[in-house]
A = this chain, B = another copy of it.
């Protein structure tokens, strides 16, 4: 579709920003891509592999003159970055982010955005268990969802332009409000991740089963948990702290349900277990029918693109 923005600034150069740079370059979607990362090592790596057109030394320098500024830092750092770049934002520019929670980002970022600059929060539902400037690949977003949560008074043209960029990178766009986003993600992503982390932690503490046994026999189900429990610790710490309400809500329901199943096991109530397990099959079928099941698990170990199912 050709160039969507003349200059794009990527603040943070991890998996998502790196993949955006490669996808934009592949599609010729940006005139120039400028990048900044807080860590000197990351900046050096990005320069070495040519991840973006130009690596700069401050977030402000990256933002200055950019038409699209992408905040691709952990959710807990978004507010500080927004405050830092605010004085340098060009009138008419669009600021977006790629954080996994949206209410907290809106609260932290929106107050810093000057009049005349558009803020359109976003969240690409894509990732792997790998992180850092070397982990990106151009096809990461292909056939994945990219949720936009425009704030009240967002300029429809700015939203449409960003949506155009996202679609040109291969993603499907959906709009929803920030609070609903946070609840949906608490169910489909955040709570499953916390549970996976917990199960891996339990295995780690167990004395009577050795770590080598756990590893050896992990293919029996445990392995899929370790995959999602290997994601970036800083990102996930921030997700849980910043989407606290929705996660605690879903966790409360989870432990309730778990206790009911635990009681059924203790009491030998086979009928209850059988009914429960039969019902959960239906959701699985829906996912297969919706084409959201692919040969490559999301938090999979390969960096090859997911095939359309």
Contacts and interface: CB of A to CB of B under 8 A. Distances in A.
Interface of A: 76, 125-126, 129, 144-145, 147, 174, 180, 183-185, 187-206, 208-209, 211-231, 233-234, 236-238, 240-241, 244, 247-248, 250-251, 253-255, 257-258, 261-262, 265-266, 268, 270, 273-274, 276-288, 290, 292-302
B290 A189 contact: no
A217 to B, nearest CB: 5
8 contacts: A76-B270, A187-B214, A190-B221, A201-B279, A240-B273, A251-B265, A255-B255, A288-B301
Contact of A202 (B236, B253, B295): B253
Given A217-B184, A292-B218, A274 B237 contact: yes
A89 to B, nearest CB: 29
A293 to B, nearest CB: 6
A230 to B, nearest CB: 4
Given A236-B277, A244-B265, 13 more contacts: A145-B217, A184-B217, A189-B221, A194-B265, A197-B276, A197-B277, A197-B280, A212-B286, A218-B287, A223-B292, A230-B280, A295-B296, A297-B297
Contacts of A226: 280, 283-284, 287
Contacts of A261: 194, 197-198
A248 B265 contact: yes
Contact of A209 (B183, B193, B204): B183
A297 B224 contact: yes
**A-B pairs with lowest CB-CB distance, top 10:** A189-B220, A233-B277, A230-B284, A188-B222, A200-B280, A192-B221, A189-B221, A226-B284, A237-B273, A229-B280
